[in-house]
Amino acid sequence: MVAFPPCKINLGLHILHKRTDGYHALETCFYPVPWTDILEVIPSDTLAFSQSGDTIPGDPHDNLCLRAYHLLQKDFTLPPVRIHLHKIIPTGAGLGGGSSDGAYTLRLLNDLFNLNLAPAALAAYAAQLGSDCAFFTQDAPQLGTGRGEILTNIGISLKGKFLVLAKPPIHVSTAEAYAGITPATPATPLTQILTQEPLAAWKGKLHNDFEASVFARHPSIEPLREKLYRAGAVYASMSGSGAAVFGIFDKGVDLAFDPGVLHWSGVLTR
């Protein structure tokens, strides 16, 4: 079985407060983007994981695909599988690529072995892999609250809009990005902006709380966001904890980036 795990962007990201478990309470809108990895899971004699494409930092044994397998293995007697991941989504980008791979491994195992896990049960397993993972068990944009694992469909759609994503050669660690934040209560709740204001009014109203501290530490990121605005983006922002930035356009644009800046552009399909 083959799947194409997508990445996500965050439309607004408010860090509300630090919780007693060390995580931060947040509100964000996760939006799926069809810049995808390629993931294959097939039955095999022994459990094996292989990887091609971009290099993933860290020990392959800790890859979220394998962690997803071991998580389900605890509750179901899963036969061994061979997992191959072709990595395309940039890592350490705020695009949730690793989270998506983990969640899609759960989805493929559920289908392959007829585990009959409903979307809510899959989401609960995914949340054990990482705060962002539950979103990737869903097929539509979601408001994320709690530590990101409580999901609500708020019916927002940018289908048909043109998106440009650009990731400079900077790796931002999620944990480090959270450490640089002073949580605060937002002046306006995120859902109010997203559901009551048109896209054209988001600039200056919809904020990613990571931007200020990450832009200060990595001065090359903000100019990329400004480049997207200069090219005609209706709204542009850093995604998640960075370093990727995205611009939403009413029509297609053809942008050139400096060498080393990974980029993707295309029409949003969901």
Ligand X SMILES: C[C@@](CO)(OP(=O)(O)O)[C@H](O)COP(=O)(O)OP(=O)(O)OC[C@H]1O[C@@H](n2ccc(N)nc2=O)[C@H](O)[C@@H]1O
Ligand Y SMILES: Nc1ncnc2c1ncn2[C@@H]1O[C@H](COP(=O)(O)OP(=O)(O)O)[C@@H](O)[C@H]1O
Cβ atoms within 10 Å of 137's Cβ, excluding its own: 26
Q: Which of 8, 87, 167, 227 is catalytic?
A: 8
Considering only 24, 81, 101, 209, the residue that binds ligand Y (CB under 6 A) is: 101
Clarify whether 8 is annotated catalytic: yes
160 SS3 class: coil
Q: Which of 10, 36, 142, 213 binds ligand X (CB under 6 A)?
A: 10
Which spans in the chain are helix H?
64-75, 97-112, 119-129, 174-179, 190-196, 211-217, 221-230
Contacts for 260 with CB less than 8 Å, ≥ 6 apart:
168, 169
Nearest approach in angstroms of CB 251 to ligand Y is: 28
Catalytic residue among 87, 132, 209, 227: 132
Can you tell me the distance from the alpha carbon of 254 to that of 247, in angstroms, rounded to the nearest whole number? 12
Question: Quick check: is 21 catalytic?
Answer: no
Show the binding pattern over residues 28-67: x = contacts ligand X (CB under 6 A), - = does not.
x---------------------------------------
Q: 114: which residues sit within 8 A by CB, 6+ positions away?
A: none
Distance CA 58, CA 17 (A): 29
* Residue 58 interaction partner, one of ligand Y, ligand X, none, beta carbon < 5-8 Å per kind: ligand Y
Give the binding range for ligand Y (CB under 6 A) out of 21-29, 86-94, 120-128, 147-155: 86-94
Residue 79 beta carbon to ligand X: minimum distance, rounded to whole angstroms:
28
Task: Pick out the residues of the known binding site.
Answer: 90-100
Region from 49-57, 94-102, 106-114, 249-257 binding ligand X, contact rule CB under 6 A: 94-102
The backbone region for 194, taken as left when phi is positive above 0, alpha when psi lies in -120 to 50, beta otherwise, is alpha
Per rule CB under 6 A, is residue 26 in the interface with ligand X? yes
Least separation in angstroms between CB 160 and ligand Y: 25
Q: Identify which of 171, 145, 127 has the alpha carbon closest to the alpha carbon of residue 136.
A: 127
Q: What distance in Å separates the CA atoms of residue 144 and residue 265, rounded to the nearest whole number?
A: 25
Partners of residue 48 on adjacent β-strands: 82
In this chain, which stretch among 71-79, 92-100, 185-193, 223-231 interacts with ligand X, using CB under 6 A?
A: 92-100
Q: How many residues does the chain have?
A: 270
Count how many Cα atoms sit within 13 Å of the Cα of residue 108 in the half-sphere of its side chain.
Answer: 26
Segment interacting with ligand Y (CB under 6 A) among 26-34, 59-67, 201-209, 210-218: 59-67
Is 98 one of the binding residues for ligand Y (CB under 6 A)? yes
Least distance (Å) between residue 74 CB and ligand Y: 19
For residue 174, state whether it binds ligand Y (rule: CB under 6 A).
yes
**Site residues, ligand X (CB under 6 A):** 10, 13, 23-24, 26, 28, 94, 96, 99, 130-133, 147-148, 174-175, 178, 240-241
Active site residues: 8, 132
